[in-house]
Amino acid sequence: MRFMLYNVRYCTGASAGFHLPFPGSGYLRHTTRNLRKITEFIKTQKPDIAGLLEVDGGSFRSRKQNQAQYIASALGHYHCYESKYGDHPLRALPVMNKQINAFITGKAIEHQSFHYFTHGVKRLVIEMELRDVTIFLVHLSLKFRHRQYQLRDLCAMVRRVRKPHIVAGDFNVAGGSKEIELFLGAT
């Protein structure tokens, strides 16, 4: 099985002038050209499964196109996706309510679940079950304390899975291997 994890950064790019004319303005740019480039790159890698972080689910910057659906369609794959924020107040903002994480897979999805941590802004855990494996996709909090609560809750989710499993995502572990060891010791 070939697995790919890719933070596509809403397909906004990462040029030298990304934050001009004001900080964060790059996140407001249209994404069509970069979406095509990223889709072509993913095609060349031929993943059986791709976990995609920071995907645009249809805001003005993607011209109301769900990037996960677009990529899945281009690859002839299945997909599942959900908002990163659950019931957090950020979800009321126009661009924020379209910020999602997603799985793209050529294998049939047997079951999908969307869990939300109780701590942090980025709360989503996507649990996707395929015939032979269960995969968890996360994008953890930047705040240390919130991340520790999230890792604890993630351990509890992973423990109940009986088939082989993968935990993937952006763990934002500023503490490096020490934080991951805490997680691995608990699983």
Distance CA 41, CA 157 (A): 32
**Mean pLDDT for the stretch of residues 6-11:** 91
pLDDT band at 170 (very low <50, low <70, confident <90, very high): very high
pLDDT of residue 97: 80
For the question of whether the overall pTM of this predicted structure is more than 0.85, the answer is yes
Cα 81–chain centre separation: 8
- pLDDT over threshold 70, residue 146: yes
pLDDT of residue 187: 56
* pLDDT bracket for residue 181 (50, 70, 90): confident
In the structure encoding, which two tokens stand for residue 128, read together?
Answer: 């996707």
Q: pLDDT per residue over 61-115, tens digit each?
A: 888 999 999 999 999 999 999 999 888 777 777 777 889 999 999 999 999 999 9
Predicted confidence at residue 85, as pLDDT, reads 86
- The tens digit of pLDDT for each residue in 22-40 reads 666 666 777 788 999 999 9
Q: What's residue 156's pLDDT?
A: 95
Ordered structural domains, the chain, with CATH = 3-186 (3.60.10.10)
Question: Which pLDDT does position 160 carry in this prediction?
Answer: 95
Residue 177 has pLDDT above 70, yes or no: yes
pLDDT mean over 129-144: 95
